Amino acid sequence: MDTLISADRLLTGPAGQQLTDAAVLVRGDRIVAVGGRDELRQQARAGSDEQHHSDATLLPGLINTHLHLVADASRDPFGAFRTSTPEAVFEAMADRALQALDAGVTTIRDLGDGHGLAFALRNEIASGTRPGPRILAAGTPLTPPDGHCWFLGGVVEGPDAIRARIRELADAGADVIKVMAGGGQTTPGGASPWESQFTLDELRLIVAEAGAVGLPVAAHAHGTQTITDCVAAGVRTIEHCGWRGGSGKPDRRDDVARRMAAAGIYAGDTTPPNWPAFAARIPFPPGHRLGDQLPWMDSLGVPIIIGTDSGMPGAVFNDFVSALEMYTELGFPNDRILQFATANAADALGLSAVTGCLAAGLAADLLVVDGDPLTDLQTLRRPRLVMARGRIHHSSAQQSEEETTADV
Ligand SMILES: [Zn+2]
């Protein structure tokens, strides 16, 4: 059956593209036309469903490019993963994916789990067995012995092990290869966040082996040297991308950022919904604050995408908008913030022909929100309608104060 959805305003994307008093015609899981309401009414098949939303905006579904469904956002985020049955962990993951969808996120990229659970959930949702957002999944991240997140099971040492692991992940259905190129915060005893865990030659091998099976590479990197190596190796996205020097202090290199921009390598920012509390725990040198590498990268042409690292302590799954608010604080206009979270993200994930804009032929991934998100991002908090691949979900809109400030 056809569904004609219209609103006062359509943000078709990318930034700056919009229509007034227009509609989207949905057939099955796809958008078949976008344009004037009366014109589309004539294209709709007999018996079509029609809904008009006044004082509202229709826009593409949001894309969260970095989260971990297997983690539960508690102080010991992988604790339940280690101690529960895979069945219980799987059900909890399905619930977290639904929380993201209720908040208007129609595509998520899972950048690290264990036991192939995110692949299984992705497949169930894609087949229509379960409701949920589209999932792209990396499976188990590559890391050296005792390296960042070794406990997820992705330890590799030497070229043969790297090759074997990438083949194994590709066979299991990985959409992207995740490499812990540098250290992180959640692994006691491992490398510090600004230290590298793989050599440039190893990163080049990972990119080449992933490329041979048609997969992009997402690299976890906080440190400037690690970022520099990831740019040289030609990864697709650099996650976190915090530009820290050996001491952990900000260390930005214009030449490297320019090469990153020229190569079209995305900065995969990770701003948790509870970023004000997160920022308060980080000792910034005078003149620096959380996220201030983003306007700098943007000024040099580095493309930006937004993830929340949901699953990490305090980073809940049902609140993407709070993460977007940091971009407002940093001075980005709303149309660009929305572009980072839709069209840019789709491009970075290789989904430009699938989602990220409202256009004929793309998946029917869309939101209707009250008012105008170009003037107020808060309008995104309670979508009137969330549609994922043509399937309608209503927002739960029941997010409590308690949940949004959990564990900060
Ligand atoms: Zn992460």
Tokens 């949905």 sit on residue: 26
For residue 42, report the phi and psi dihedrals to the nearest 5 degrees: -70, -25
Q: How remote is the CA of residue 204 from the centroid of ligand 1, in Å?
A: 21
Looking at residue 285, what DSSP letter applies? Answer: P
Q: Are 195 and 238 in contact (CB under 8 A)?
A: no
Q: How remote is the CA of residue 307 from the centroid of ligand 1, in Å?
A: 9
Q: How remote is the CA of residue 128 from the centroid of ligand 1, in Å?
A: 27
Express each pLDDT in 104-130 by its tens digit. 999 999 999 989 999 999 999 999 999
Express each pLDDT in 294-303 by its tens digit. 999 999 999 9
Interval 182-195 mean pLDDT: 82
Interval 393-399 mean pLDDT: 49
Q: How remote is the CA of residue 141 from the centroid of ligand 1, in Å?
A: 10
Which residue type, as a one-letter code, is found at position 71?
A
Q: How remote is the CA of residue 113 from the centroid of ligand 1, in Å?
A: 10
pLDDT cut 90: percent of the chain above it: 87
Give pLDDT, residue 398: 35
Q: How remote is the CA of residue 383 from the centroid of ligand 1, in Å?
A: 26
Of 289 and 226, the structure prediction assigns the larger pLDDT to 226
Q: How remote is the CA of residue 17 from the centroid of ligand 1, in Å?
A: 32
Which residue type, as a one-letter code, is found at position 371?
G
Q: How remote is the CA of residue 51 from the centroid of ligand 1, in Å?
A: 39
Domain borders along the chain are 2-60+356-396, 62-348
Q: How remote is the CA of residue 298 from the centroid of ligand 1, in Å?
A: 22
Query: Which of 80-94, 189-203, 367-381 shows the lowest per-residue confidence on average (mean pLDDT)?
Result: 189-203
**Across the chain, what does the average pLDDT equal?**
93
Interval 379-388 mean pLDDT: 95
Query: Using CB atoms within 10 A of its CB, is residue 119 exposed (0-12), middle (13-18) or buried (19+)?
Result: buried
- How many Å apart are CA 151 and CA 147, to the nearest integer? 9
Express each pLDDT in 149-174 by its tens digit. 999 999 999 999 999 999 999 999 99
Distance of alpha carbon 347 from the chain centroid: 12
Q: How remote is the CA of residue 28 from the centroid of ligand 1, in Å?
A: 34
pLDDT cut 70: percent of the chain above it: 96
Question: In b/e form, how buried is each residue of 143-181, taking b as 16+ CB within 10 angstroms?
Answer: bbeebbbbebebbbeeeeebbebbeebbeeebbbbbbbb
Q: How remote is the CA of residue 218 from the centroid of ligand 1, in Å?
A: 11
Check pLDDT > 50 for residue 407: no
Check pLDDT > 60 for residue 368: yes
Going by C-alpha positions, the residue among 64, 81, 72, 73 that lies closest to residue 134 is 64
- How many Å apart are CA 242 and CA 194, to the nearest integer? 9
- How many Å apart are CA 120 and CA 126, to the nearest integer? 10
Q: How remote is the CA of residue 382 from the centroid of ligand 1, in Å?
A: 26
Express each pLDDT in 21-55 by its tens digit. 999 999 999 999 999 999 999 999 999 999 999 99
Q: How remote is the CA of residue 370 from the centroid of ligand 1, in Å?
A: 32
Question: In b/e form, how buried is each residue of 225-234, taking b as 16+ CB within 10 angstroms?
Answer: bbbbbbbebb
Q: How remote is the CA of residue 21 from the centroid of ligand 1, in Å?
A: 40
Q: How remote is the CA of residue 18 from the centroid of ligand 1, in Å?
A: 33
Give pLDDT, residue 330: 97
79 token code pair = 């604790």
Q: How remote is the CA of residue 178 from the centroid of ligand 1, in Å?
A: 10
Give pLDDT, residue 186: 67
Express each pLDDT in 315-327 by its tens digit. 999 999 999 999 9
Given strand 266-270, what is the order of strands in its sheet?
Answer: 177-179, 217-223, 237-244, 266-270, 304-307
Q: How remote is the CA of residue 163 from the centroid of ligand 1, in Å?
A: 23
Q: In CATH, what number does 2-60+356-396 get?
A: 2.30.40.10
Give pLDDT, residue 280: 87
Check pLDDT > 90 for residue 185: no
Interval 59-85 mean pLDDT: 96
Give pLDDT, residue 320: 97
Q: Is the dihedral of CA 241, 247, 252, 255 positive or negative?
A: negative
CATH architecture of 62-348: Alpha-Beta Barrel (3.20)
Check pLDDT > 60 for residue 406: no
33 token code pair = 């036309």
Residue 385's beta-bridge partner residues? 368
For residue 27, report the phi and psi dihedrals to the nearest 5 degrees: -130, 120
Express each pLDDT in 240-285 by its tens digit. 999 999 888 899 999 999 999 999 999 999 999 999 998 888 878 8
What is the pLDDT confidence band of residue 64, given thresholds at 50, 70 and 90?
Answer: very high
Give pLDDT, residue 110: 98
- Cα separation values, 281 from 218, 276, 289, 359, 401, Å: 26, 9, 11, 43, 21
Which residue type, as a one-letter code, is found at position 206?
I
Of 88 and 186, the structure prediction assigns the larger pLDDT to 88
